[in-house]
Amino acid sequence: MSSKRDKKSNRNNTLFDESPKKSRVATKKNYNGNKKAFEKKRQEVVDDFDPFDISLDEYDPPIRVSAEDFFIPKDKYPESVLNSSEEALSSNAKAKEKPISKTRKRGTKSLSKPDNKKVKVSQSSAVANNDGKNMESETSGSETNCNEKPVEVAKTSKSTKNHDISAISKVSSRDAKIIKSEASKTLEATRDTTKSEASKSASSAKKRGKLATSKPTKIVANNNKSEVSKISGDLISANNTEAAKSLSANNKHNFENISNSPVKSFKSKGETKAIEIPKTDDEDVSRDESLTQNMNIDDDELENSEEYDDSLLTNIMEVEKYVLPSGQEIEKEQMIAPDLQIVQQRIADVVRILNNFKELGDQNRGRTEYVDRLINDIATYYGYSEFLAEKLFHLFPVSEALDFFEANEIPRPVTIRTNTLRTRRRDLAQKLIGRGVNLEPIGKWSKVGLTVFSSDKPLGATPEYLTGDYMLQSAASFLPVMSLAPQEDEKILDMAAAPGGKTTYIAALMKNTGQIFSNDANKERTKALVANIHRMGVKNTVVSNYDGREFPKVIGAFDRVLLDAPCSGTGIISKDTSVKINKTDKDFMQLSHLQKQLILSAIDSVDAKSPTGGYIVYSTCSVTIEENEAVVNYALKKRSNVKLVPTGIDFGVEGFTRKQMSNKKEQEQEQEQERYENPTKEAKQEDKPNKAKKRRNNNNSDTRKKQKTKHNDNYTK
Ligand SMILES: C[S@@+](CC[C@H](N)C(=O)[O-])C[C@H]1O[C@@H](n2cnc3c(N)ncnc32)[C@H](O)[C@@H]1O
């Protein structure tokens, strides 16, 4: 008989190895999806709650769920899934056993130290859950979705050259080694353990490396010290306190005096569907083998059997060529509502072909045609605009891309962060377990996180929540703060801070010492920020409402700056499905431009000579290159006094260090971005013919004048 402890560790292993997709907790989804109703419900629960009216039974630890509970039995599949893929689901039942877990793992990048003073810019948009396994795209919003439209970007005359990522791929051989070992470590730690996936990961990891500048140089201290202290003095005296250190959260609203364009939040419109991810040949063979072994069935017997159904074994026998539908067939298909089952099957077929195009592909049609078909089908099946499906698809190798789209259909696990200003994780866990919450530590990488599997009560309505013992916060959003590593008594800027998941974590790590300037450009959102600061007992923070680009003029000389930038939210599509159709080319251009401006402000706001700090962390909840690598690359080009440094987080996968323009469209987009960011140059170019004409005209008139004079001269002569 296994001991209780054994059971627990088994449960841990299984749970942490499994995909979180079958999590039964819907509270967070409810909260995000229908905040008003949620708040009302919460109030009801709070009103009804009598802390003394708890029977002893309720203190007994509830029976916790087992790993099996995280798999939805087939008879419980949502109707939409059953309808769309009943047949495929049954024929691929083997594949279904494997949890879907991978998405792109975003790495961390850091900028360098000037003058031997550390200025670290680290870009991190990775999510970890469960011991760093199953890294997911970042969800950096805390309780509310932070996927916001940014404040209107003012077009400035910033000149950006082609921000080709290859420009930041100068990695010294020493660094390269570190990268390699880090990448392989990461792979082990973060990937599912199947062989084929590991090799897939290895190949994708090869494509990534640490971003680094060739050499660090001194920082140009834009932050004029006296100017800064004057401004900060004004701010402080306006609040009638001696130092920001002693400022309480209560009088922070005084800074919320600059109005900004309202930031709109998106409503979810997307639909959730499920698709089988085709497995690589290796995987399927081993799966089939283990299946037959488990069932104790002899292969020969099976083949000779009358009931032999070769459709069950399609995956290992698929060597026949797949013929893409003709243009006419597709047109016909598009006339009517798409049959998702056909689309799903075609996705699986095309992925299989693309994985072995030489043997299975129709060479006359060409790989591009298959890829185009696949992107089209992905857009139809998962409900993306074709523009976004294509953009996201090209970020990954083919099967990884499918994993990404599939993962976006699955809710992330609900996680909370213990507020160590108020309590200890163990005490909090005990209290919550006593209230019928099933939870586990989030993983070895965090001392404060808890994964919640199910809860009798909404997690935003427990007395512990209301008294600030914890924050509802995605695992990924711990990482930028861990990377920032704020120290006690430092002066920190959280440049885009609402609703405060990261600010409150920073305050906890600083044990309420030092000063945090928690800023957000959206006044509405600073209300939630202030509320969270109060609830969590944060006492070292000033809330301000400036456009981040105004720093360091507002205040500067920070020891560390966190820029958790406004972004497209392509890493948190599972949380906000509206991203699938709402984001346009223009949005990405604007966001990237704004992020580039913000990162320069962040760098300029850091005190390069800080004895303890000098670091900047850049993070987003997006996966696109233009919002991540390109921004960091831009900063490295524009500020020669910074370099990338390690984030101190030893899991996840590094970002891209070079970018290949795979098609003409991408090149055009890149040029478009350049034109957007550099309108003056463009205007100049456009203006060139006019100027030339003018010059010509001037020249002509000069010549005419000269000729006239000459003539006159001649005449006078
Ligand atoms: C990713 S969210 C921040 C989430 C926050 N760091 C947290 O952990 O709770 C991005 C924030 O940037 C803010 N924002 C947008 N444009 C901004 C700007 N120009 N300057 C400062 N903040 C901005 C948005 O209002 C939004 O709250």
- The minimum-distance atom of ligand 1 relative to the CA of 495 is 21
Does the domain at 4-76+413-471 match CATH 3.30.470.20? Answer given as no
The token duo for 398 is: 């083919």
Asked whether the beta carbons of 568 and 512 are under 8 A apart, the reply is: no
Main-chain phi, psi angles of 141, to 5 degrees = -70, 150
The superfamily (CATH) of domain 108-120+141-268+479-675 is Vaccinia Virus protein VP39 (3.40.50.150)
- Does residue 46 surpass a pLDDT of 50? no
Query: pLDDT value at position 111?
Result: 42
Indicate the pLDDT class of residue 580, thresholds 50, 70 and 90: very high
Q: Among 148, 415, 555, name the best residue to mutate to test ligand 1's pocket (greatest count of ligand atoms within 8 A of Cβ).
A: 148
Kindly name the residue from 275, 572, 594, 621 that is annotated as catalytic: 621
500 assigned ligand-binding residue: yes
Tell me the ipTM for this assembly.
1.00
Helix (H) or strand (E) run with residue 237 in it: helix 225-238
Q: Which atom of ligand 1 is nearest to the CA of 548?
A: 20
Task: Say which residue, 700 or 663, is predicted with more confidence.
Answer: 663
529 lines ligand 1 (CB under 6 A): no
Listed range (213-222, 447-456, 619-628) with the worst mean pLDDT: 213-222
pLDDT category, 355, cuts 50, 70, 90?
A: confident
- Please work out whether the CB of residue 472 comes within 6 Å of at least one atom of ligand 1: no
Whether 146 is catalytic is: no
Q: Determine the residue of 32, 127, 146 to mutate for testing ligand 1's pocket, defined as the one with the most ligand atoms within 8 A of the Cβ atom.
A: 146
What's the alpha-carbon Rg for the chain, to the nearest Å?
29
* Joined tokens for residue 303: 């083949």
**pTM confidence score:** 0.58
pLDDT (0 to 100) of residue 438: 97
pLDDT value of residue 332: 72
User: What is the per-residue pLDDT for 436?
Assistant: 95
Picking from 99-113, 311-325, 364-378, 396-410, which range would have the lowest pLDDT averaged per residue? 99-113
The enclosing H or E element of 666 equals helix 664-677
Q: What is the pLDDT of residue 616?
A: 98
Q: Which of 302-311, 353-362, 664-673 has the lowest mean pLDDT?
A: 302-311
Q: How far, CA to CA in Å, does 584 sit from each of 101, 359, 589, 669? A: 27, 37, 9, 12
**pLDDT at residue number 439:** 97
| Residue 693: band (very low, low, confident or very high) from pLDDT cuts 50, 70, 90 | low
Q: Is 655 in the pocket of ligand 1 (CB under 6 A)?
A: no
> Which residues, 6 or more positions from 621, have their beta carbon under 8 angstroms from its beta carbon?
125, 137, 138, 139, 140, 141, 146, 147, 476, 477, 567, 569, 571, 572
One-letter amino acid of 485? A
Q: Produce one character per residue of 702-715: b if its CB has 16 or more CB atoms within 10 Å, e if not.
A: eeeeeeeeeeeeee
Q: Whole-angstrom Cα distance, residue 699 to residue 701?
A: 5
Q: What is the C-alpha to C-alpha distance for residues 203 and 185, in angstroms, rounded to an integer?
A: 14
Nearest to 396 by CA among 569, 571, 270, 268: 571
Q: Lowest mean pLDDT: which of 210-214, 289-293, 452-456, 543-547?
A: 210-214
Average pLDDT over residues 112-136: 38
3-state SS class at 517: strand
| Residue 57 marked as a ligand binder | no
Instruction: List pLDDT tens digits, range 666-689.
Output: 677 777 777 777 776 655 566 555
Cβ of 273 closer than 6 Å to ligand 1, yes or no, is no
Most confident of 102-106, 233-237, 699-703: 699-703
84 by DSSP, 3-state: which? helix
Q: What angle do CA 412, 438, 453 make, to 5 degrees?
A: 15
More reliable by pLDDT, 84 or 280? 84
Lowest average pLDDT, out of 33-37, 48-52, 646-650, 713-717, goes to 713-717
Q: Mean pLDDT check: name the lowest of 1-15, 455-469, 585-599.
A: 1-15
502 has binding-site annotation: yes
Alpha-carbon distance 582 to 682, whole Å? 28
**pLDDT in the model for residue 326:** 75
* pLDDT attached to residue 695: 55
571 lines ligand 1 (CB under 6 A): no
Q: Is 547 in the pocket of ligand 1 (CB under 6 A)?
A: yes
Mean local confidence (pLDDT), 625-653: 94
- Residue 312 DSSP symbol: G
Q: Is 146 in the pocket of ligand 1 (CB under 6 A)?
A: yes
Crossing angle of the two packed helices 398-407 and 195-206, in degrees rounded to 10: 110
Ligand 1 pocket, mutate which of 137, 142, 151, 538 (most atoms under 8 A from CB): 151
Query: Is residue 690 very low, low, confident or very high in pLDDT (cuts 50, 70, 90)?
Result: low
Instruction: Count CB atoms within 10 A of the CB of residue 314.
Output: 14
In sequence order, what are the residues at sequence separation of 6 or more whose Cβ sits closer than 8 angstroms to the Cβ of residue 348?
88, 275, 276, 278
The answer to whether the annotation marks 499 as part of a ligand binding site is yes
Q: State the DSSP string of 106-147.
A: --EE-B--GGGS--BEEEE-EEEETTTEEEEE----SSS---
Local confidence band at 586 (pLDDT 50, 70, 90 cut-offs): very high
